[in-house]
């Protein structure tokens, strides 16, 4: 099982060291948000109190490194903006469960750490559950959300099971166009279906995708089919930076800490609140992993040229 040059075992060992050791240290890394992240931040910060958001949570434990961090940051903003959130999933039966766990964690932090008024289930957020067959389900929601979600129920504050359409979150929703923003935190093809069925509904779409999905999501962003997206770890890092420093906001020394040349709006962040999470924590590690990759690519090429020279002699 050996490659010609460095044995695989050594490569793997190096990766383990390069990705785990930096986690023990806090390494500050500079970084400016990419256009897509800045646009995503703008769309989230444009929400007003009471705005309704449909949040598709289409990820599970396997991509939690990127997706959970994205989800947490987005939820933090939604809670601070006091938007009403309906969560639903189409990618995996386990997804609503994972979403609920993250929601509970962020809601707790919202009250205990950030000292904000409680963000309550039923009043502020609901879970519409899991729907198999992502394309059919998203199409059904696009066509008639009242029909698609008609059987879903939640326990109201009086302890009674009631239709989610009686909750303050959904009571004003007649069609999917009534939402002010649709977000898909996804690690699968559901972003495609969102564009396919929902981009014609005149609701801004926002995606939080894994690193591998960035190129294909960029297509939707460039064509204007989504207002912005957070791509992989870099996206989370960008969002956390913008939440901490604001976007294009000048610091005490008159310099812009976090800025973007395309999105020129000045949007203040949430200084002093818990903004930084996995993105800020893992981003230095990404540097080390990428550095290792570059070094290995260079070694591979040097080896190849040496072998070529040897063969010519």
Partner 1 sequence: MPVEKVGWWSNNIPQLGEQYWDTGWFGLLFTLTFVIFIVFNVSRARKTDLFIRRVAGLNAIEEAVGRATEMGKPVLMVPGLSDPVNAYAVQAINICAHVTRIAAKFSNPIILCAYSASMYTLAQEVIRDTYQSEGVPERYDLDSVRYISDRQFAFAAGVSGLILREQTAATFFLGEFYAESLIFAETANSIGAIQVASSTEATQTPFFIAACDYVLIGDEFYAASAYLTREPVMVGSLVGQDWAKMTAIAFILMGVASQSIFVSSKAKLTEKAFLAAGGNKLSKEQSADFKDKFKAETKTAKEEETKLFNIQKFFKPGPPPEDLDMQREKLPQEPEAAPGAAGANQ
Partner 2 sequence: MKPSDFSIWSLDPTKGTVFYHVIFAIVIGFAIFFALMNAPTQVRRPLTWFLTLLSGGVFVVAAYWPKPINFDAKTQKPLNAIESGSVFLADTNNVVGSFTQILAAFMLGLGIFSLLRIHLGKIAKKKTDWGFSIVLLVSMVSMITFGYWDYTTRQANKLVDYDVQSNWKLENMGRDFLFDKLLQQMDAAMFSIIAFFILSAAYRAFRARSVEATILLGTALIVILSLMGIVSAYWDGAVTSLAGDSANKDLILNFKITEISNWLRNTFQTPAITGIRFGIGLGTLSMAIRIWLGLEKGGK
Report the interface residues with partner 1, using CB under 8 A: 1, 8, 62, 133, 143-144, 146-147, 174-175, 177, 187-189, 200, 212-213, 215-216, 224
Torsional sign, CA 142, 147, 153, 158: positive
Instruction: Give CA–CA dist 23/168, Å, rounded.
Output: 42
Assess contact for 73 and 239: CB atoms under 8 A. yes
12 binds partner 2 (CB under 8 A): yes
Q: What is the dihedral of CA 26, 81, 127, 151, to 10 degrees?
A: -160
Pick one of 57, 60, 186, 248: the residue that binds partner 2 (CB under 8 A). Answer: 60
304 binds partner 2 (CB under 8 A): yes
Min separation Cβ 138 and partner 2, Å: 11
DSSP percent split of the chain into helix, strand, coil, nearest 5: 50, 15, 35
Going by the DSSP 8-state scheme, the letter that residue 265 receives in this structure is: -
Min separation Cβ 169 and partner 2, Å: 19
Min separation Cβ 144 and partner 1, Å: 5
Min separation Cβ 181 and partner 1, Å: 17
Q: Answer with the entry of partner 2, partner 1, none that 296 interacts with (C-beta below 5 to 8 A by kind).
A: partner 2
**Residue 182 vs 286, nearer CB to partner 2:** 286
Q: Which residues between 14 and 53 bind partner 2 (CB under 8 A)?
A: 15, 19, 29-32, 34-35
Q: Three-state SS for 304?
A: helix
Please name which of 84, 33, 71, 78 lies closest in space to residue 208, comparing C-alpha atoms.
71
Q: Answer with the entry of partner 1, partner 2, none that 168 interacts with (C-beta below 5 to 8 A by kind).
A: none
**Residue 276 vs 287, nearer CB to partner 2:** 287
List, in order, residues 6 or more apart from 1 with CB less than 8 Å away: 8
Q: Answer with the entry of partner 1, partner 2, none that 224 interacts with (C-beta below 5 to 8 A by kind).
A: partner 1
């Amino acid at each position: 099982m050996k490659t010609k040059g460095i044995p695989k075992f050594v490569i793997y060992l190096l990766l383990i060291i390069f990705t785990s050791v930096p986690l023990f240290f806090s390494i500050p890394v500079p970084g400016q948000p990419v256009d897509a992240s800045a646009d995503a931040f703008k769309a989230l910060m444009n929400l007003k109190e009471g705005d309704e958001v449909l949040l598709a949570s289409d990820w599970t434990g396997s991509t939690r490194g990127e997706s959970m961090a994205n989800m947490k940051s987005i939820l933090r903003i939604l809670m601070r903006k006091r938007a009403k959130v309906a969560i639903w999933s189409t990618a995996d039966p386990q997804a609503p469960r994972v979403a609920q766990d993250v929601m509970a964690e962020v809601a707790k932090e919202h009250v205990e750490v950030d000292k904000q008024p409680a963000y309550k289930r039923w009043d502020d957020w609901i879970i519409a559950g899991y729907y198999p067959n992502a394309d059919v389900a998203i199409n059904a929601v696009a066509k008639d959300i009242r029909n698609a979600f008609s059987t879903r129920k939640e326990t109201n504050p009086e302890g009674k099971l009631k239709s989610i359409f009686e909750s303050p979150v959904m009571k004003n929703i007649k069609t999917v166009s009534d939402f002010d923003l649709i977000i898909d935190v996804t690690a699968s093809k559901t972003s495609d279906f969102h564009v396919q069925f929902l981009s014609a509904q005149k609701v801004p779409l926002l995606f939080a995708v894994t690193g591998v999905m960035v190129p294909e999501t960029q297509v939707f962003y460039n064509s204007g089919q989504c207002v912005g997206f957070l791509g992989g770890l870099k996206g989370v890092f960008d969002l956390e930076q913008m939440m901490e420093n604001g976007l294009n906001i000048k610091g005490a020394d008159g310099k812009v800490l976090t800025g973007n040349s395309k999105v020129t709006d000045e949007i203040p962040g949430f200084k002093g609140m818990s903004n930084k999470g996995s993105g800020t924590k893992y981003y230095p590690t990404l540097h080390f992993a990428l550095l290792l990759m570059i070094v290995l690519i260079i070694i591979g090429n040097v080896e190849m040229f040496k072998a070529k020279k040897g063969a010519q002699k």
